[in-house]
Structure 1
Amino acid sequence: MTEPEGTFCLVLHSHLPWLPRHGTWPVGEEWLYQAWAHSYLPFADLLSRFADEGKRDMLTLGVTPVLAAQLDDPYSLRAFHEWLGHWLLRARHAATLWQGDDLLSDLAAAEHRAAENALADFESRWRHGFSPILRSVMDSGVIELLGGPLTHPFQPLLAEPVRSFALREGLADTRLRTGTTPEGIWAPECGYAPGMESGYQRAGVRRFLVDGPALRGDTSAAHPVGSSDVVCFGRDLEVTYRVWSPKAGYPGHSAYRDFHTWAHEVGLKPSRVTGKHIEPADKAPYDPALAADTLRLHVKDFVDTVVTRMRELRARDGRSPLVVAAYDTELFGHWWHEGPAWLEGILRALPEAGVRVTTLRGAVEAGHVAEPVDLPASSWGSGKDWRVWDGEQVADMVSANSALQQRLLALDIPRGHRDGTLDQTVTEALLALSSDWAFMVTKDSAADYARRRAADHTARFDELAALVRSGDPAAATTAERFRALANPFGRLDARGLGSGS
């Protein structure tokens, strides 16, 4: 048997902020249900099919606790079921409206089949939420699961007690849902500050992701960080950016379905990208056959890119190389309609090209660990520093979050019986500290919604904290009212804040 060209790890990061009961269209629950229908359903189906085929160690999957909570939440399950029904009705209406146009008529029929299949899949496999599905594919060995802190906060900007609590509770929440505590995490936004590896080691985390520039581009092996036993893996941007970069990538090809163009009378996307500067009204109709031909070319291009990169690294370093490509799960299906088919294509084609496909754990076991490194402060955001989350555009939010943490740590939390009001008080603070809000403001993506969400959760925290301090009996009923809006983590126990255990 010939030696593999090298080892390839696909890492996917699945995350949305808490959205149920916090707005609908265009930002809010609609965001959740679109990603659920077009990314999470087909991706879970792919993993289940891999499991049925007996495949093992196919990829590393990060699922944030706050996303898992939404995909298990009874309200979300009921509302998403209704959303799928409306999708089916929209497709039926499109079939009537688009009669006489061959491409659009075929698209309406395909959309109807997709909605029917999604509805049947949801009703048969998702009745009890995502966690049973996730546990099943984990038990089959198809994936390695990565965890993370509860609400996806940007960890470098957290006070150490808050950072430790969010991570401990996040890992514990994942264990509750899946039966396993992850050994690795996707650090939110790949955010890192020197010394964070010590906290990871105390929490039992053995590996995490950084972006390639944090390793000065030397991503061909994992590295222990500082004097710890925790290893970091870096994204290989030369390979990763073939798919998605700040400026280019496969999803922008003219043949693929256009994400931004809607036929508002039916709520469907009828166009292909056509061209970057083409107005929506002038875009060509989506042609699935043309997209499928393009997809095959992009699968081959990616495989060729990986093999070429591995040969370059082997020639440079004289050892078997590692290539890590990492993306948001929501890119595949939600943002890029053809993405799930592309994922399946490359995961089947890479082994045929002589590439060993495995997980981050598998890469460590195969010996892809080099010398220790000292990492700089970094992220995977613009500039590869922290500017997205602590830049001038969000300076007021950074200041507000810092003050919020001080008030959070000043809470008088008795060590006696558990107090549900305090649990909700802490929950509201953690929801306010989600990294998504600053990202959305900096990127001017539903910035008003993001600012309102951060402010609302902060205000709820302050209202509860004041009622608790005063001993007001209204604290319990107020907490119950807020819990009806956001109760992601039933096991969160405020007594653990600052306890270090």
Structure 2
Amino acid sequence: MTSEGTFCLVLHSHLPWLAHQGGWPVGEEWLYQAWAHSYLPVVDLLERFAAEGRRDVLTLGVTPVLAAQLDDPYSLRGVHDWLGNWQLRAQYAGRRLADLSTYEHRQSERALSAFETKWRHGFSPLLRPLVDSGTVELLGGPATHPFQPLLDPRLRAFALRTGLADTALRLGSAPEGIWAPECGYEPGMEHGYAAAGVRRFMVDGPALGGDTSAARTVGDSDVVCFGRDLEVSYRVWSPSVGYPGDPAYRDFHTYDHPTGLKPSRVTGMDVAPQDKAPYEPALAAEAVARHAVDFVDAVVRRLRDLREQKGRPGLVVAAYDTELYGHWWHEGPAWLEAVLRALPEAGVHVTTLRGALEAGHLGGPVELPASSWGAGKDWGTWAGPQVADVVHGNAEVQRELLALDFTGPTRDPVLDQAVREALLSLSSDWAFMVTKDSAADYARYRAKVHAERFRELVSRRGNGARAAELRLVDGPFGHLDSRGLA
């Protein structure tokens, strides 16, 4: 069969550092929901493809701060408890919602079984075989998912080295590609990538003027960027439309409050929660099949159009948050599997970003503008007037951090912890949540708490306090050596 062209699916797995931060409606509950409804089923899907001998199924980005949480003993205990509680809630629902109770009990039982038989030692032991076998291509990133253009170059380089080193410790080797946090870019960053050993990274389609039909080298470097094809990607998930809004799919926002379960289907975008129809899995399965066919047709049409325009086979890169599949969109994993099986049957070469380069989808050099994948495709989400206080606070933390002396002869655990707290305060998530008014107070609180911990540790260290005298809060990146900032 003649290939219509090449398709790459890129999933980006990320949550801010939430473990040890408290429960509903934020903190650990976010982590456990995404773990149960996205990470478990997506890994199960990838393991089945691996068992079939499939290679280069998709490119998977896992941010270091998420990988740390998915391996953390506290988190592992917490999600196990959460899964058991989910099963209890499903049983309790039988008093009023018999069909939902049966469905949820089966779902929770599968999740508990998968976790207890495979996940008890964390995510890394499951991810490494998928990477080593070539089933997935792994993307990494800076340690705590900062918006890199707003970081001092010295701190930017340190955060990236720390993140890549963390991935190497967990999986045996550092990734050659990264999902740049928020696809944030400023001209010249490619040289920092090259120095860190990063050979490819993601940008959003508009940064390439909408021409995402091939990867491009950036500036005068050998570092390659891939752009997200918005025409195809937005069929699934866009600011206003997409498959998950279909009336048959499960409604994410409507809860049965006594049990915390979600009993309704979308029904209609303007239908009040109390008026929504009950969720019907069979009806949702019909929508999955319909939307898988529609997506495959859209990819084939796009590739044929690119071949006609360019005179050669084209490339389509569709990129999404992993959490869309199962967490935000309950039926997402089923749709994902249907698409990944149907595309090759339609004559499309499905591969990874690495595989796309091996297939020859590399264009000439490009000068990228300052950009992101946020609203407006600029830096406004992370540097706009709504977050002026966050931006100012981040600048102050950086200034104070980089004024410290990191030239000690041995590691200083207090200084290492202070640097970890500073990096956590600089996470891009806090500004994003404030701009989007999604738990904005919580986001400001988290940025403030980490900044205060940083300053307290620096102050008490300056007054002669030693690690044994301080309560060093558990956190990610125990390997972090602050002397790397010298």
- Structure 2-normalised TM-score? 0.99
Q: Show the 5 A alignment for 1:427-466.
A: 427-466=420-459
**Which residue in the other structure is 1:497 paired with?**
485
In the alignment, the residues of structure 1 paired with residue 427 and residue 447 of structure 2 have an alpha-carbon distance, to the nearest angstrom, of: 8
**Superposed displacement of residue 317, structure 1:** 0.5
Matched, 1:322 2:315: yes
Per-residue deviation, residues 187-227 of structure 1 (Å, max 9, x unmatched): 00000000000000000000000000000000000000000
In the alignment, the residues of structure 1 paired with residue 171 and residue 100 of structure 2 have an alpha-carbon distance, to the nearest angstrom, of: 38
C-alpha contact 2:397 2:422 (8 A) present in aligned 1: yes
C-alpha contact 1:460 1:482 (8 A) present in aligned 2: no
C-alpha contact 1:421 1:476 (8 A) present in aligned 2: no
Percent identical among aligned pairs is 70
* Runs of 5+ consecutive residues of structure 2 not aligned to the other structure: none
**Superposed displacement of residue 3, structure 1:** 2.6
Per-residue deviation, residues 350-400 of structure 1 (Å, max 9, x unmatched): 000000000000001111000100000000000000000000000111011
**Superposed displacement of residue 180, structure 1:** 1.6
In the alignment, the residues of structure 2 paired with residue 95 and residue 10 of structure 1 have an alpha-carbon distance, to the nearest angstrom, of: 39
Q: Show the 5 A alignment for 1:371-386.
A: 371-386=364-379
Matched, 1:196 2:184: no
In the alignment, the residues of structure 1 paired with residue 171 and residue 465 of structure 2 have an alpha-carbon distance, to the nearest angstrom, of: 38
C-alpha contact 2:218 2:365 (8 A) present in aligned 1: yes
**Structure 1's 319 and 135: CA in aligned 2 closer, same or farther, altered over 3 A?**
same
Counterpart amino acid of residue 477 in structure 1: E
**Superposed displacement of residue 412, structure 1:** 1.6
In the alignment, the residues of structure 2 paired with residue 441 and residue 127 of structure 1 have an alpha-carbon distance, to the nearest angstrom, of: 34
Q: 1:255 aligns to what SS in structure 2? A: coil
Matched, 1:23 2:22: yes
In the alignment, the residues of structure 2 paired with residue 283 and residue 430 of structure 1 have an alpha-carbon distance, to the nearest angstrom, of: 43
Per-residue deviation, residues 91-123 of structure 1 (Å, max 9, x unmatched): 01112332xxxxxx2221111011011001100
Q: Show the 5 A alignment for 1:207-246.
A: 207-246=200-239
**Which residue in the other structure is 1:101 paired with?**
none
C-alpha contact 2:414 2:472 (8 A) present in aligned 1: no
In the alignment, the residues of structure 2 paired with residue 147 and residue 3 of structure 1 have an alpha-carbon distance, to the nearest angstrom, of: 34
Aligned residues: 486
Counterpart amino acid of residue 339 in structure 2: I
In the alignment, the residues of structure 2 paired with residue 256 and residue 370 of structure 1 have an alpha-carbon distance, to the nearest angstrom, of: 40
Moved more, 489-498 or 108-117: 489-498
In the alignment, the residues of structure 2 paired with residue 108 and residue 238 of structure 1 have an alpha-carbon distance, to the nearest angstrom, of: 39
Q: 1:42 aligns to what SS in structure 2? A: helix
**Which residue in the other structure is 2:59 paired with?**
60
**Which residue in the other structure is 1:32 paired with?**
31
Q: Show the 5 A alignment for 1:340-355.
A: 340-355=333-348
In the alignment, the residues of structure 2 paired with residue 247 and residue 395 of structure 1 have an alpha-carbon distance, to the nearest angstrom, of: 27
In the alignment, the residues of structure 2 paired with residue 180 and residue 107 of structure 1 have an alpha-carbon distance, to the nearest angstrom, of: 44
In the alignment, the residues of structure 2 paired with residue 69 and residue 181 of structure 1 have an alpha-carbon distance, to the nearest angstrom, of: 15
* Runs of 5+ consecutive residues of structure 1 not aligned to the other structure: 99-104
Q: 2:211 aligns to what SS in structure 1? A: coil
**Which residue in the other structure is 2:4 paired with?**
5
**Which residue in the other structure is 1:102 paired with?**
none
In the alignment, the residues of structure 1 paired with residue 210 and residue 338 of structure 2 have an alpha-carbon distance, to the nearest angstrom, of: 27
Q: 1:23 aligns to what SS in structure 2? A: coil
**Superposed displacement of residue 469, structure 1:** 1.9
Q: 1:144 aligns to what SS in structure 2? A: strand
Q: 1:276 aligns with which of 223, 248, 269?
A: 269
In the alignment, the residues of structure 1 paired with residue 117 and residue 327 of structure 2 have an alpha-carbon distance, to the nearest angstrom, of: 22
**Superposed displacement of residue 417, structure 1:** 1.1
In the alignment, the residues of structure 1 paired with residue 468 and residue 362 of structure 2 have an alpha-carbon distance, to the nearest angstrom, of: 51
Matched, 1:411 2:399: no
In the alignment, the residues of structure 2 paired with residue 345 and residue 493 of structure 1 have an alpha-carbon distance, to the nearest angstrom, of: 45
In the alignment, the residues of structure 1 paired with residue 351 and residue 187 of structure 2 have an alpha-carbon distance, to the nearest angstrom, of: 29
**Which residue in the other structure is 2:102 paired with?**
109
Counterpart amino acid of residue 118 in structure 1: A
In the alignment, the residues of structure 1 paired with residue 232 and residue 84 of structure 2 have an alpha-carbon distance, to the nearest angstrom, of: 39
**Superposed displacement of residue 497, structure 1:** 1.4
In the alignment, the residues of structure 2 paired with residue 38 and residue 249 of structure 1 have an alpha-carbon distance, to the nearest angstrom, of: 20
Q: 1:327 aligns to what SS in structure 2? A: strand
In the alignment, the residues of structure 2 paired with residue 173 and residue 141 of structure 1 have an alpha-carbon distance, to the nearest angstrom, of: 20
**Which residue in the other structure is 2:418 paired with?**
425
Q: Show the 5 A alignment for 1:83-232.
A: 83-98=82-97, 105-232=98-225
**Which residue in the other structure is 1:45 paired with?**
44
C-alpha contact 1:440 1:450 (8 A) present in aligned 2: yes
In the alignment, the residues of structure 1 paired with residue 294 and residue 468 of structure 2 have an alpha-carbon distance, to the nearest angstrom, of: 58
In the alignment, the residues of structure 1 paired with residue 227 and residue 339 of structure 2 have an alpha-carbon distance, to the nearest angstrom, of: 20
In the alignment, the residues of structure 1 paired with residue 70 and residue 227 of structure 2 have an alpha-carbon distance, to the nearest angstrom, of: 29
C-alpha contact 1:150 1:167 (8 A) present in aligned 2: yes
**Which residue in the other structure is 1:483 paired with?**
473
- Structure 1-normalised TM-score? 0.96
In the alignment, the residues of structure 2 paired with residue 22 and residue 94 of structure 1 have an alpha-carbon distance, to the nearest angstrom, of: 29
Q: 1:401 aligns with which of 381, 394, 398?
A: 394
Counterpart amino acid of residue 485 in structure 2: L
Counterpart amino acid of residue 494 in structure 1: S
In the alignment, the residues of structure 1 paired with residue 368 and residue 259 of structure 2 have an alpha-carbon distance, to the nearest angstrom, of: 50
**Superposed displacement of residue 476, structure 1:** 4.3
Q: 2:312 aligns to what SS in structure 1? A: coil
In the alignment, the residues of structure 1 paired with residue 11 and residue 388 of structure 2 have an alpha-carbon distance, to the nearest angstrom, of: 30
**Superposed displacement of residue 60, structure 1:** 0.2
In the alignment, the residues of structure 1 paired with residue 408 and residue 246 of structure 2 have an alpha-carbon distance, to the nearest angstrom, of: 58
**Which residue in the other structure is 2:241 paired with?**
248
Per-residue deviation, residues 441-489 of structure 1 (Å, max 9, x unmatched): 000000000000000000000001111222234x5433xx2423xx111
Q: 2:326 aligns with which of 329, 333, 342?
A: 333
**Structure 1's 273 and 309: CA in aligned 2 closer, same or farther, altered over 3 A?**
same
**Which residue in the other structure is 1:288 paired with?**
281
C-alpha contact 1:64 1:149 (8 A) present in aligned 2: yes
